[in-house]
Amino acid sequence: MTEQTQVARPLVDRFGRHISYLRISVTDRCDFRCVYCMAEDMTFLPKKDVLSFEEIETIATAFIRRGTTRIRLTGGEPLVRRDIIDLVNTLGSHLGNGLDELTLTTNGSQLAKHAQALAAAGIRRINVSLDTLDTERFAAITRRGRLADVMAGIDAAQASGLELKINMVAMRGVNDDEIEPMMAWAHGRGMGLTLIEGMPLGEVGIDRVDSYLPLRELHDNLARRYTLTRLAKRTGGPARYDHVAETGGVLGFITPMSHNFCESCNRVRLTATGQLFLCLGQEDQVNLRDALREGGEAALDAALDHAMLIKPKGHDFVIDRARAEPALGRHMSVTGG
């Protein structure tokens, strides 16, 4: 594809939204079983169904050629995939050549081992999913994780010069008493904190109705105790950010339930099997794996054109007793959040 073609055919959906952000789930596997994300007993994909690193790189390159400037690697837990640093290095070679940023979301369990290599490959920012600072509560939420491993990973990442942001799923009656301590801890270490509303994806190990905490409510409560100033800061994703005067740090809010962010959606999500999900809260998808394997790069490009025609306007998540079942059957780990 020529440079002229690249400029002429950006990825723009039928609502005029430019798709500049690709999230790639490199594996559905994870070494945790977080209660809001997965069932305790999961069946994972056979290897033959998972995209190879070469296929991921080919798909990523096709996106970059058509104007995608940010890529985030997710899972499952991306750092449990064997030789993951090879893929990070390959994708990192696109930085400065159409790709502005390569980032990663991790549970932190393997971060101590990989932090230095991630930084060397060109990653500058990492999101660490962490819902509690209490050892016993951490074990209960993750069902099998060790908080000490995550803390060691955070230490290693900061020592490697990586900028960190903590992602915390806010759950009423589970960890809502820790939100202010988590904010003080994160900001005290120079890290941002982003709070996320629970989403009704897949059968999991928590009562979503009882645990649902609207972040509008939480924001109002925090605003009574702290000086919050809305920031223009955007990092390519759906979070809205406030500056907290008392801590000097940044507090983010991701609100797919109480205030969806669909009007400005610039994202699509590639699963480990090559399904391109066009909305986290809908089933609209395009099979990029089959397009690539059966028709090569021309078919892949045509599939991206089709994806822009069917990307939905938005999602319509609801959590209440009348509709307590998941909005979608797939687990969060399939699409990487």
Instruction: Report how far apart, in Å, the C-alpha atoms of 109 and of each of 88, 112, 114, 327 are.
Output: 18, 8, 10, 29
Query: How many separate domains does the chain show?
Result: 1
Predicted pLDDT of residue 211: 77
Contacts of residue 94, Cβ cutoff 8 Å, sequence gap at least 6 = 60, 61, 64, 102
Give dist(CA 243, CA 227) in Å, integer: 8
Digitized pLDDT (tens) for each residue of the chain, 337 residues in all: 444 444 448 999 999 999 999 999 999 999 998 888 877 878 788 888 899 999 999 999 999 999 999 999 999 999 999 999 999 999 999 999 999 999 999 999 999 999 999 999 999 999 999 999 999 999 999 999 999 999 999 999 999 999 999 999 999 999 999 999 999 999 999 999 999 987 654 454 555 567 788 888 899 999 999 999 999 887 767 889 999 999 999 999 998 655 555 777 899 999 999 999 998 767 789 999 999 999 999 999 999 999 999 998 875 544 444 444 544 444 455 556 5
Predicted pLDDT of residue 198: 77
Kindly report the CA angle at 288 between 39 and 44, in degrees rounded to 5?
A: 20
Instruction: Report how far apart, in Å, the C-alpha atoms of 226 and of each of 4, 65, 184, 250 are.
Output: 50, 44, 12, 12
Predicted pLDDT of residue 257: 56
Predicted pLDDT of residue 326: 42
Annotated binding-site positions for S-adenosyl-L-methionine: 36, 76, 129, 199
What residues make up the domain containing 257? 3-335
Amino acid at 161: G
Predicted pLDDT of residue 8: 45
Residue pair 96/127 in contact (Cβ under 8 Å)? The answer is no
Annotated binding-site positions for GTP: 23, 72, 105, 165, 267-269
Tokens of 220: 């109002």
- Give the residues across from 73 on adjacent strands: 24, 104
For residue 68, give the CATH number of its domain.
3.20.20.70
Give dist(CA 169, CA 138) in Å, integer: 12
Distance in angstroms between the alpha carbons of the first and the last residue of the chain: 31
Residue pair 128/97 in contact (Cβ under 8 Å)? The answer is no
Give dist(CA 244, CA 182) in Å, integer: 13
Predicted pLDDT of residue 313: 83
Annotated binding-site positions: 23, 30, 34, 36-37, 72, 76, 105, 129, 165, 199, 262, 265, 267-269, 279
Annotated binding-site positions for [4Fe-4S] cluster: 30, 34, 37, 262, 265, 279
